[in-house]
Structure 1
């Protein structure tokens, strides 16, 4: 179904996918499409996108705080050392998506992340080099024009897979690229489109 940007009661025109859900609208306005350059934050988002496979993003988003608690704030150094006891505990945590393949995948991906961090070029540089370090700005007028994957997301997917990352298919990777601002897929009439077209907005890094 073709859907164009919508004018909300607050006077702002937004992409249609958040609907009127205040929680989802806040995510759209403050996070989605904002260029993210922090290594750990990028790992977290890629893992959450992997857990989303077969589910809706809003389901994962509502569980994000639970995921952060369960997965040690997505610190790859800790996740890479998870053992069978920890996996068992995660499988019994009702606050997250209890899927053993995805949990095991996050552990393997953490090890791959550490390898990139230790041997270079760093996870952020590795990803952003695919788009020359800046967002690829699209000019979509409706959701019908927005692709589920692209040749570039296929390329990144293959590269991540070859390095040992799991649950990084082309569609998951493209959703990740959209969310982290590697591509700006806010509709052209959305008020966020212009501000997400470059480094005008920087991501809010989580306080340590």
Structure 2
């Protein structure tokens, strides 16, 4: 099997993530919040770092159950800042909790993040096949549009580069390289 460059000759976590998660369309709201959280945490760091700490994040952030994270208070922020198993960045932690609270409001109003995000692409994944990693954009007009809309809706730490990676993780964008033999949409 040939994989995208970033997943070749790496460890088992990266290979598994590439082969079974990245680019696989999801409409699971808990998973969407998990990936939002992980992408926010990844900003400025490597994805490998985040994957290495993923199990710890699940524990620290109540298995990414939005309703539970939305109830986190200052004591939880202090607990998370002292948790060596996760990325301890006060701004990221506070914004994850803030975004969970925004999502709870959306859910109470009958809205989901999944329906919101998938509406930008008419519920159909956008398939791109780039020849090389150098040609995969860090952001696109779609991620810029979604970022702007999310910020207007009150979400934080959702810049266009984070959103680009998040959309790829959710399978809204399928950005596997031309040479990659993993094709989730044909399965």
On whether the aligned pair clears a TM of 0.5, the verdict is: yes
Which residue of 1 is the match for residue 146 of structure 2? Answer: 156
Gaps of 5+ in 2: none
Runs of 4+ in 1 over 3 A off after TM superposition: none
Which residue of 1 is the match for residue 137 of structure 2? Answer: 147
Gaps of 5+ in 1: 1-11, 202-208
- Choose between structure 1 and 2: higher helix proportion: 2
Matched, 1:14 2:3: yes
CA deviations on 1:92-137 (whole Å, 9 max, x unpaired) are 0000011111110011100111122221331110111111111101
1:80-91 aligned at under 5 Å gives the runs 80-91=70-81
Whole-Å Cα distance in 2 between the matches of residues 57 and 64 of structure 1?
10
TM superposition shift of 1:164: 2.0
TM superposition shift of 1:14: 1.1
Which residue of 1 is the match for residue 118 of structure 2? Answer: 128
Whole-Å Cα distance in 2 between the matches of residues 138 and 18 of structure 1?
17
1:155-174 aligned at under 5 Å gives the runs 155-174=145-164
With 114-123 and 45-54 compared, the bigger mean Cα shift is at 114-123
Which residue of 1 is the match for residue 106 of structure 2? Answer: 116
Provide TM-score, normalisation by structure 2.
0.95
Confirm or deny: 8 A CA contact 2:13 2:51 kept in the other structure: no
Whole-Å Cα distance in 2 between the matches of residues 118 and 187 of structure 1?
39
TM superposition shift of 1:20: 1.2
Which residue of 2 is the match for residue 204 of structure 1? Answer: none
TM superposition shift of 1:139: 2.3
With 127-136 and 13-22 compared, the bigger mean Cα shift is at 13-22
Whole-Å Cα distance in 1 between the matches of residues 112 and 61 of structure 2?
21
Provide TM-score, normalisation by structure 1.
0.86
Confirm or deny: 8 A CA contact 2:139 2:160 kept in the other structure: yes
Counting matched residue pairs gives 186
TM superposition shift of 1:57: 0.8
Greater C-alpha radius of gyration: 1
Which residue of 2 is the match for residue 31 of structure 1? Answer: 21
1:54-133 aligned at under 5 Å gives the runs 54-133=44-123
Name the Cα RMSD after superposition.
1.2
Whole-Å Cα distance in 1 between the matches of residues 153 and 72 of structure 2?
19
Confirm or deny: 8 A CA contact 1:137 1:183 kept in the other structure: yes
